[in-house]
Structure 1
Amino acid sequence: MMQEREIPILPLRGILVFPYMVIHLDVGRERSMAAIEEAMLLDRQILLLSQKEMEIDSPTIDDLYTVGTIVDIKQLLRLPGGTMRVLVEGICRAEVKEFLAEDPFFKAQVERFPGNERMSPELENMTRSLTHQFEEYARLGKKVSPEAIGSVLAVKEPGRMADLVASHLNLKIEDKQAVLGAIDVSERLEKLTELIMREIEILELERRIGLRVRKQMEKAQKEYYLREQIKAIQKELGDKDEKQAEIEEYKEKIEKANLTDEAREKALKELDRLEKMAASSAEGTVVRTYIDWIIALPWNKASRDKGDMHKAEKILEEDHYGLEKVKERILEYLSIRKLTPNMRSPILCFIGPPGVGKTSLAKSIARSLDRKFVRMSLGGVRDEAEIRGHRRTYIGALPGRVIQGIRKAETKNPVFLFDEIDKMSSDFRGDPASAMLEVLDPEQNHSYADHYLEVPFDLSKVLFIMTANYIENIPRPLLDRMEVIHLSGYTEDEKVNIAVRHLIPKQMKVHGLKEIVVRLDSACVLKIVRGYTRESGVRNLEREIANVLRKVAVRVVKKEWKPRTLTPEDIETLLGAPRYFYRTVGFEPEIGAAVGLAYTEVGGDVLTIEATPLAGKGRLTLTGKLGDVMKESAQAGLTFVRSQAESLGISKDFYDQLDLHIHVPEGAVPKDGPSAGITMATAMASALSSRAVRQDVAMTGEITLRGNVLPIGGLKEKVLAAHRAGIKTIILPEKNLKDLEEIPEEIRKELEFRFVKRMEEVLDIALLPVSKSQEFLPQLPVYNTDFTQPESRPL
């Protein structure tokens, strides 16, 4: 029967008391001692409630569970230091209905649950199951005494037996509280059965793990015992200890290796660690690998540079046609190296389009210097450890690829090529571009510290060469330490010479053909260059030559081939119709069409920019897949034309009644850059003033609002494209005069260059007078000058 009463409360930390339990409690908190004093004055009964959090020193009502155990204080002992020790015995469960006070002690109105339940068949079944589970728990855990097992088995009341079992289980306070809070006996037995089965499963797992560990320990002890026996037998027979032999072998290698003092000290220190390790230690393998790396590196081994300048020059000429600036720079380096052997190596960076020979040029430099060559591709490298190496704390750690390349070269001064340095990227694993600074910086790389080696290595004698396609993608701090050499695209003549000297002999050998069977002369190569390739380099040219030779090889094997020199017509028969046509311009002057020059990834090209006025409201339409910079150039050009309308003979208010449409072919190819500014301005001025533009004149340059012409890039490629298209006169910014030396002399002789500072000079050169333009005017319906009546007149 349930009863309600007021009773003092004693909070417990990290402990829980069940009914019928007898236990000693040490009490030290003021409120707790006050509650015990109150209970002793009344009926010696007090309610024990567990705290939800053990760490709380001064709990509040919210920090206590609401279900606890009413206990009878059997004994009270005051200890030195102001604490108490009480002996309590659990009587029954109780649930707090209302907390009445917190100070000077907790006090509450509680409801008691005496627990005089009767045995039923269902409870008896659950009790028997719990008893068997408890016996299994005691057998596995070996922490429950036989007397405790006997006392549990002797209890016949199901609720009391459940409480007694729960008190002997090694459970968390939360789980014990769940059992204590289960007022219904069947619910309590069910909850306790679930908990004890979980504990049995954990104990079973611990037992299996313990057996496995014991077996492994027994195996290790057995192996150790057998090894010790082998050592003793070897000692008796006079055989040498295997481990000691290994240590002595390493010592001999370290002495013979030409190491620096710091490297030798580090190697001997690691060897001393290895000697003290057990033979079967996993750490031993890591130390052996590390010592092998230190011994293998060329700390003081260097190759001697060739002193014969003429021989080096001959090698460069054999391997590469053209590239005079690059060859001149290498010969300068060799000369200075001969005069001052201890000079620091430069860091060269070759920047140019794909296929112009950047990587093969680095190989030729190594051959001309008689040095070892190492290549590392940086495309897609985004892990800093690729450069600096991994620390030896990681499994499978290795030095960075720089140190790996030095080991492969077996000298401390190879030619080291970092290919595609503009393709590096960074992510959460670090920034490899920043790690490259220590590799390349002459002020730091004499003591380069790899994370794996942890010993400085001298990289100052290495000749580092970089290659990149775009200078804009190279990180600025890296670029600052490089000497940039630009490799522009090859001219047609250079491509033909490269093919005749290098590509054709190489591909003839690859395809098993000889000159007596087939020959390709300059005319055939020129046909391939113009009709089947469109590139700055010669990579596709080599593929097309290989394509020709493959088709010849098939005919030779079928015995359908007569030995001969191929003609351009044979090339078209073998490769099919030409895929590319270099744009040539008509030489009849046109109104509203100006010839511009463009710089693309595959070299230069000519663009005819068209401008057409239409009746409208002053809107400017731009088509041809133009980028933002090119659109802004068109706006700047239109502003200039409006400012010069009177001098050009254009109506001042033309922009109120006319739309302008500017189109740049080819419409599917993205185009951007400022160098089409003067071309678009010329086309607009021509269309609005009805003055024809000379089609034998091409132009390139950036325009400002005030009509100044600014310099541009890619001059060589643009001039070559103009020459191919049959242009005779090229208008260039005056500040590009210095770049004219890049143009081959034979091309310069065939062209006329006009250098300008102002847009007015461009218009004077490119536009014909109105009197000479009449015959080139198409008859189109347009609006007359008063913009009221349409009539048919030439634009």
Structure 2
Amino acid sequence: MSKTSNQLYESLMSGDYASEGDLIQLITDDEINEDGTEEVFSDLIPILSVRNTVLFPGVVIPITVGRQRSIRLVKKAQKGDKMIGVCAQIHPNNDDPSWDDIYHVGTVAKIIKMIVLPDGNTTIIIQGKKRFRITETVSEDPYFEAKVNYLEENFPEGNKKIQALEESLKDAAAKILQLNPEIPREAQVALDNIDSTPFLTHFLSSNINAPVESKQRLLEINDGIDRATLLLELMMKDIQMLELKSEIHKKVHTDIDQQQRDYFLRQQMKVLQTELGEEGPEKEVEELRARGRKKKWPMEVARHFEKELDKLLRINPSAAEFPITINYVETLVDLPWNEVTKDNFDLKRAMAILDRDHYGLDKVKDRIIEYLAVLKLKNDLKGPILCLYGPPGVGKTSLGKSIAAALGRKYVRMSLGGVHDEAEIRGHRKTYVGAMPGKIIQNMKKVKVSNPVYVLDEIDKLSSDFRGDPSSAFLEVLDPEQNSTFTDNFLEVEYDLSKVLFIATANSLDNIQPALRDRMEIIEVTGYTMEEKVGIAKKHLIPKQRKEHGLKGKDLTFERAALVKIIEDYTRESGVRNLERLVGKVIRNVAKSIAMEEEYTKKIGVQQIRKILGGEVFDKEIYQDNSVAGVVTGLAWTSVGGEILFIETSLSRGKGKLTLSGQLGEVMKESAMTALSYLKSKADKLGIDYRVFESYDLHIHVPAGAVPKDGPSAGITILTAIASLYTQRKVKSKLAMTGEITLRGKVMPVGGIKEKILAARRAGLKEVILCSKNKRDIEEIDEQYLKGIVFHFVDTVDEVLEIALMKEVVEDPIRFHIETQVKAVEN
């Protein structure tokens, strides 16, 4: 774009052109002969296929031809009227294109000059004249020839949209000239001399930075408005790319050293902030210093804080260390150091709050009242570490809120389920990217007092991996002798946690490491009886669910029998979580009837419960069946409370093989082998012929085989089942037992007695056999849980069998086979 059209034409005709850039120019008089007459174009023209180039009318470009077919075409045209058709190739890498490999819309061009190069190639300089479309292919040899239909330009005159598009195209072209330093400045003069809108679009289309496909689309569009619009879009994309390149160029190439530039800008910023009265780093530091003076923190912490502020003033505000240090000192000043809430020592009020929020749990309530009483008398007591241990749904977590309300303290809860990174407890060191304090300090910062009730929920769900052991990090947190000097990795100074009342919750103590368990006072929160569940439902669950579902007390009530049916026939749990879900389901059914203006029963009875909840889920009859020998009911402890457990046994002809099934753990397998060994040693005393053990295979099975079972509590249950099977004596009806045995026939005590007794009551059992040493556990249980159950305390296996086995013998094929086998052996 360095020469005007007349200058370029003269230089081309004389062969005096400076560079290839000078060749890609415009000639405005594209359809006028030298004598002033309008050029006439033939309908049959030779077609030259070109690579990576789209020729537009009025544009002059050089083309180098090297294919024999193209050379023949050019030489033939040069001798004739010098007119050729130029079409772009669809695939530029194709050296021998066919008609299907070229676009069928092209531009007829006039050969202005032909130059034969020394290497045999020929360069021609051509000028585009008029667009055409191929209508019929005539020949491919010796070169392409085709009949064409010439396309007229469709630019409506006087159209305001055309005028606007023309101005926009010129502005976009000027912007490109401004952003691209490689284009000569004289190109702007050439643009200003163009007064033909069609030629403006052809000229810009030829010179924009766009792929061949896009330029071909521009060539094929007849409508002037559509062509100009598409061209403007392509030019705007080119402008965006040039602006991005320019921005990158400015960022990469800097005239001044970066540090000097930053220093200069910082000095300017300080001056401007001083003039405007706005805050700078110094003012922010002074505000932090003023806040620090109001804190009631230890002297060593105050000195450390001042030291960090002085260090902050020496750090470059743009340095990466500056925001880290700011975050650190803000954390220090935001923490509550000696800000405490005043405890409420009204013990009667505290007991009323505990009774209001929780039904039962007398042992836990007494422990809290004891703590308040000592605190009231001494007015200085380090926070005890309580651990509420029991099955899910019994109210352990919500008890923490009630304790906070009773004390008048703030409440904060930290869920430990799935925590496996020690840094979540102790925090990260400041040197790490994204460092922050641990969750203990974060929650203290959030609660803004240093003596809250802090609930550590699900402490038995802590896990460990390569990032450390969080449970070990709690050894310091939960030790009243050490937590006054708790050190978080992020804080780097000691923080006093001794005023915090920590309350941990756990479903199982087995998963808590012994050292951590030793630091906590274990308070057992056992399951509820049926009477307690009815009381909880009436006092808490039903009002809560009514409120959540938008109902009032007058809209529905529950009969006691309906609640009993839900508890006995639709739930089997120690807590009340599932009971609350089922109560909510019943209330939702009523809410639907009210919303749909349907008739419904306001007083929910047993019939409505069965209609809404469907058939009973649990059947109590299975716990009362003693018609088959070799089946005994045991008692087991699980993480969700007590459960009854059946031990089933059977005999089959064989060679004395023992089979165990039901996914038993190692302890239960050992109990089974111990029971069988003991029974073999006492066979004569029980009236069992010892030779039977060699003639029959014994199979011991515990139902629900998909559930893992283990623990030292099924020894006497397995022994009783085997003895009943071999003697074919029935087991006493509605009897359960729990205890471990030794080879000498001693009965050993087991744990989880209260949960097991509650399970026996739920199952409708009337008698329970326990080790005599478990009598102390029974004495600690409230008498209301023991009503209707007779306890047998034993020391030996003989006492167990005396109580459990009835004199009645079952007549069945197994006994017949045993007697037959014995007689056969005797004969």
Q: Give TM-score scaled by structure 1 length.
A: 0.69
Task: Write the mapping of 1:171-210 to structure 2, written as runs, cut at 5 A.
Answer: none
- Secondary structure of 1:267's counterpart equals helix
User: Hey, what does 2:226 align to over in structure 1?
Assistant: none
User: Hey, what does 1:154 align to over in structure 2?
Assistant: none
User: Hey, what does 1:418 align to over in structure 2?
Assistant: 456
Query: Contact 1:584 / 1:724 at 8 angstroms: preserved in 2?
Result: no
In structure 2, relative to structure 1, the CA distance for the partners of 1:267 and 1:583 (3 Å cut) is: farther
Query: Contact 2:626 / 2:730 at 8 angstroms: preserved in 1?
Result: no
Q: Which runs of 5+ in 2 are unaligned?
A: 1-246
In structure 2, relative to structure 1, the CA distance for the partners of 1:662 and 1:382 (3 Å cut) is: closer
How far 1:507 moved relative to its partner? 0.9
Amino acid of the structure 2 residue aligned with 1:677: G
How far 1:616 moved relative to its partner? 2.6
User: Hey, what does 1:364 align to over in structure 2?
Assistant: 402
Query: Contact 1:589 / 1:694 at 8 angstroms: preserved in 2?
Result: no
Please, which moves more after superposition, 424-433 or 325-334? 424-433
How far 1:209 moved relative to its partner? 12
- Secondary structure of 1:712's counterpart equals coil
Task: Write the mapping of 1:562-581 to structure 2, written as runs, cut at 5 A.
Answer: 562=600, 564-581=602-619
User: Hey, what does 1:782 align to over in structure 2?
Assistant: 817
User: Hey, what does 2:267 align to over in structure 1?
Assistant: 228
Q: Distance in 1 between matches of 2:248 and 2:273?
A: 37
Kindly indicate whether residue 332 of structure 2 is the aligned counterpart of residue 298 of structure 1: no
User: Hey, what does 2:803 align to over in structure 1?
Assistant: 765
User: Hey, what does 2:414 align to over in structure 1?
Assistant: 376
Amino acid of the structure 2 residue aligned with 1:778: D
C-alpha RMSD of matched pairs (Å): 2.6
How far 1:790 moved relative to its partner? 11
Query: Contact 1:591 / 1:692 at 8 angstroms: preserved in 2?
Result: yes
How far 1:600 moved relative to its partner? 3.1
Q: Distance in 2 between matches of 1:732 and 1:751?
A: 12
Query: Contact 1:231 / 1:241 at 8 angstroms: preserved in 2?
Result: no
User: Hey, what does 2:176 align to over in structure 1?
Assistant: none
Query: Contact 2:691 / 2:822 at 8 angstroms: preserved in 1?
Result: no
Kindly indicate whether residue 379 of structure 2 is the aligned counterpart of residue 341 of structure 1: yes
Q: Distance in 2 between matches of 1:765 and 1:623?
A: 27
Amino acid of the structure 2 residue aligned with 1:768: M
Query: Contact 1:354 / 1:537 at 8 angstroms: preserved in 2?
Result: yes
Alignment match of 1:259 (pick from 297, 309, 314): 297
In structure 2, relative to structure 1, the CA distance for the partners of 1:264 and 1:589 (3 Å cut) is: same
Alignment match of 1:596 (pick from 625, 634, 637): 634
In structure 2, relative to structure 1, the CA distance for the partners of 1:719 and 1:584 (3 Å cut) is: farther
- Secondary structure of 1:454's counterpart equals coil
Kindly indicate whether residue 319 of structure 2 is the aligned counterpart of residue 272 of structure 1: no
Amino acid of the structure 2 residue aligned with 1:376: M
User: Hey, what does 2:388 align to over in structure 1?
Assistant: 350
User: Hey, what does 2:685 align to over in structure 1?
Assistant: 647
Alignment match of 2:623 (pick from 585, 604, 614): 585
User: Hey, what does 1:94 align to over in structure 2?
Assistant: none
In structure 2, relative to structure 1, the CA distance for the partners of 1:679 and 1:502 (3 Å cut) is: same
How far 1:678 moved relative to its partner? 1.0
Please, which moves more after superposition, 385-394 or 430-439? 430-439
Alignment match of 1:389 (pick from 427, 435, 441): 427
Query: Contact 2:571 / 2:579 at 8 angstroms: preserved in 1?
Result: yes
Please, which moves more after superposition, 557-566 or 369-378? 557-566
Query: Contact 1:591 / 1:777 at 8 angstroms: preserved in 2?
Result: no
Query: Contact 2:334 / 2:445 at 8 angstroms: preserved in 1?
Result: yes
User: Hey, what does 1:44 align to over in structure 2?
Assistant: none
How far 1:222 moved relative to its partner? 4.5
User: Hey, what does 1:609 align to over in structure 2?
Assistant: 647
Query: Contact 1:516 / 1:563 at 8 angstroms: preserved in 2?
Result: no
How far 1:758 moved relative to its partner? 0.3
User: Hey, what does 1:499 align to over in structure 2?
Assistant: 537
Amino acid of the structure 2 residue aligned with 1:225: F
Q: Which runs of 5+ in 1 are unaligned?
A: 1-207
How far 1:392 moved relative to its partner? 1.2
- Secondary structure of 1:535's counterpart equals coil
User: Hey, what does 1:310 align to over in structure 2?
Assistant: 348
User: Hey, what does 1:23 align to over in structure 2?
Assistant: none
User: Hey, what does 2:588 align to over in structure 1?
Assistant: 550
Q: Distance in 1 between matches of 2:277 and 2:822?
A: 115
User: Hey, what does 2:784 align to over in structure 1?
Assistant: 746
Query: Contact 1:590 / 1:695 at 8 angstroms: preserved in 2?
Result: no
- Secondary structure of 2:305's counterpart equals helix
Query: Contact 1:415 / 1:462 at 8 angstroms: preserved in 2?
Result: yes
How far 1:227 moved relative to its partner? 4.5
- Secondary structure of 2:644's counterpart equals strand
- Secondary structure of 1:675's counterpart equals coil
- Secondary structure of 2:394's counterpart equals coil
Q: Distance in 1 between matches of 2:499 and 2:618?
A: 47
User: Hey, what does 2:254 align to over in structure 1?
Assistant: 215
Task: Write the mapping of 1:694-713 to structure 2, written as runs, cut at 5 A.
Answer: 694-713=732-751
In structure 2, relative to structure 1, the CA distance for the partners of 1:559 and 1:224 (3 Å cut) is: same
In structure 2, relative to structure 1, the CA distance for the partners of 1:628 and 1:246 (3 Å cut) is: closer
Q: Distance in 1 between matches of 2:572 and 2:692?
A: 42
Amino acid of the structure 2 residue aligned with 1:274: L
Deviations 1:384-434 (A, max 9, x none): 211111111122211111111111111111111111111212222222222
In structure 2, relative to structure 1, the CA distance for the partners of 1:579 and 1:697 (3 Å cut) is: closer
Kindly indicate whether residue 552 of structure 2 is the aligned counterpart of residue 514 of structure 1: yes
In structure 2, relative to structure 1, the CA distance for the partners of 1:341 and 1:549 (3 Å cut) is: same
User: Hey, what does 1:118 align to over in structure 2?
Assistant: none
Query: Contact 1:596 / 1:699 at 8 angstroms: preserved in 2?
Result: yes
Kindly indicate whether residue 760 of structure 2 is the aligned counterpart of residue 722 of structure 1: yes
User: Hey, what does 2:241 align to over in structure 1?
Assistant: none
In structure 2, relative to structure 1, the CA distance for the partners of 1:547 and 1:209 (3 Å cut) is: closer
How far 1:569 moved relative to its partner? 1.1
Q: Distance in 1 between matches of 2:271 and 2:794?
A: 96
How far 1:576 moved relative to its partner? 1.5
Q: Percent identity?
A: 50
Q: Distance in 1 between matches of 2:335 and 2:729?
A: 74
Query: Contact 2:692 / 2:822 at 8 angstroms: preserved in 1?
Result: no
Q: Distance in 2 between matches of 1:398 and 1:351?
A: 32
Amino acid of the structure 1 residue aligned with 2:615: A
Query: Contact 2:354 / 2:406 at 8 angstroms: preserved in 1?
Result: yes
Deviations 1:126-176 (A, max 9, x none): xxxxxxxxxxxxxxxxxxxxxxxxxxxxxxxxxxxxxxxxxxxxxxxxxxx
Q: Distance in 1 between matches of 2:811 and 2:280?
A: 100
Deviations 1:628-673 (A, max 9, x none): 2222211111111111111111113332223223333344433322
User: Hey, what does 1:105 align to over in structure 2?
Assistant: none
- Count of paired positions: 579
Q: Distance in 1 between matches of 2:819 and 2:265?
A: 113
Q: Distance in 2 between matches of 1:494 and 1:241?
A: 63
Query: Contact 1:606 / 1:721 at 8 angstroms: preserved in 2?
Result: yes
User: Hey, what does 2:731 align to over in structure 1?
Assistant: 693
Query: Contact 1:590 / 1:694 at 8 angstroms: preserved in 2?
Result: no
- Secondary structure of 2:316's counterpart equals coil
How far 1:240 moved relative to its partner? 7.2
How far 1:567 moved relative to its partner? 0.6
Q: Distance in 2 between matches of 1:486 and 1:558?
A: 46
In structure 2, relative to structure 1, the CA distance for the partners of 1:651 and 1:399 (3 Å cut) is: same
User: Hey, what does 1:680 align to over in structure 2?
Assistant: 718
Q: Distance in 1 between matches of 2:641 and 2:258?
A: 72
Kindly indicate whether residue 664 of structure 2 is the aligned counterpart of residue 629 of structure 1: no
User: Hey, what does 2:370 align to over in structure 1?
Assistant: 332
Query: Contact 1:535 / 1:603 at 8 angstroms: preserved in 2?
Result: yes
In structure 2, relative to structure 1, the CA distance for the partners of 1:754 and 1:282 (3 Å cut) is: same
Query: Contact 2:270 / 2:280 at 8 angstroms: preserved in 1?
Result: no
Query: Contact 1:686 / 1:692 at 8 angstroms: preserved in 2?
Result: yes
